[in-house]
Chain A
Amino acid sequence: AQSVTQPDIHITVSEGASLELRCNYSYGATPYLFWYVQSPGQGLQLLLKYFSGDTLVQGIKGFEAEFKRSQSSFNLRKPSVHWSDAAEYFCAVAPMEYGNKLVFGAGTILRVKS
């Protein structure tokens, strides 16, 4: 069965510091890959997605993610974190032959200290 692992439950970074959130997936082929963000009390907002092509994808709010097939990873990065980035981040995969059913990781809660 497909699975998504986000190894870090919580991460704390200082405002202005760089950020990397890790995501690994378990699947035989290359799935569709997504990162979503959830601010407190809100629904999920799509940050970026990867289907094919260039393995470095740009998203909203200054985020980017890099797909590495050899590592089955899709890590999310931001060069300089802002206090408003404090939220929970979810990595998700959609195995291509199952349409767009998503399998989510457990999430990483980002805290930003000033």
Chain B
Amino acid sequence: DVKVTQSSRYLVKRTGEKVFLECVQDMDHENMFWYRQDPGLGLRLIYFSYDVKMKEKGDIPEGYSVSREKKERFSLILESASTNQTSMYLCASSERDTQYFGPGTRLTVL
């Protein structure tokens, strides 16, 4: 079974802090994705990566950056957290056409 893990289930940070969300997959997948999930909006793609050190912007990249130094790990970075970034963050990985999701990190920015 594909396993995608995220470093924290719940996280509380203060406005202006730098926040790191980590995602690790164990299936040697090429592709990894970061989404945020908000009620009534579904999942929206923030960034994705097709290979190590490669990244592409998704639909809502503003205020976020990513890092992929190793194939199995994809990090989402909030350089200066703001209250409007309070949300559920979901990581996914895929080899071909099917994405497999982690359990999510619920981030609250105070």
- The interface of chain A, by Cβ under 8 A from chain B, is 4, 9, 32, 34, 36, 41-46, 49, 51, 90, 92, 94, 99-102, 104-107
A90 adjacent to B104 (CB under 8 Å): no
| A45 contact from B35, B58, B97, B101, Cβ within 8 A | B101
- The interface of chain B, by Cβ under 8 A from chain A, is 4, 31, 33, 35, 40-45, 48, 50, 58, 90, 92, 94, 96-104
Q: A43-B90, A44-B101, A99-B50 are in contact. List 18 more A-B contacts (CB 8 A).
A: A9-B40, A34-B98, A41-B104, A43-B101, A43-B103, A43-B104, A44-B92, A51-B97, A90-B42, A90-B43, A99-B31, A100-B99, A101-B33, A101-B45, A102-B43, A105-B42, A106-B40, A106-B41
B101 adjacent to A49 (CB under 8 Å): no
Alpha-carbon distance A44/B50, docked complex (angstroms) = 21
Alpha-carbon distance A90/B31, docked complex (angstroms) = 21
Contacts of A45 in B (CB 8 A): 101
Alpha-carbon distance A107/B44, docked complex (angstroms) = 12
A104 and B42 in contact, given A32-B97, A49-B97 (Cβ under 8 angstroms):
yes
Best-surrounded residue of B33, B40, B97, B100 (most CB of chain A within 10 A):
B97
The 3 residue pairs across chains A and B that have the minimum distance between CB atoms:
A104-B42, A43-B101, A44-B101
Alpha-carbon distance A51/B44, docked complex (angstroms) = 22
A102 adjacent to B103 (CB under 8 Å): no
Alpha-carbon distance A99/B48, docked complex (angstroms) = 11
Contacts of A9 in B (CB 8 A): 40
A-B contact pairs, 24 of them (CB 8 A): A9-B40, A36-B101, A42-B103, A43-B4, A43-B104, A44-B43, A44-B101, A46-B98, A46-B99, A46-B100, A49-B97, A51-B97, A90-B42, A92-B43, A99-B31, A100-B96, A101-B33, A101-B58, A102-B33, A102-B45, A102-B99, A104-B42, A104-B44, A106-B40
Alpha-carbon distance A91/B97, docked complex (angstroms) = 15
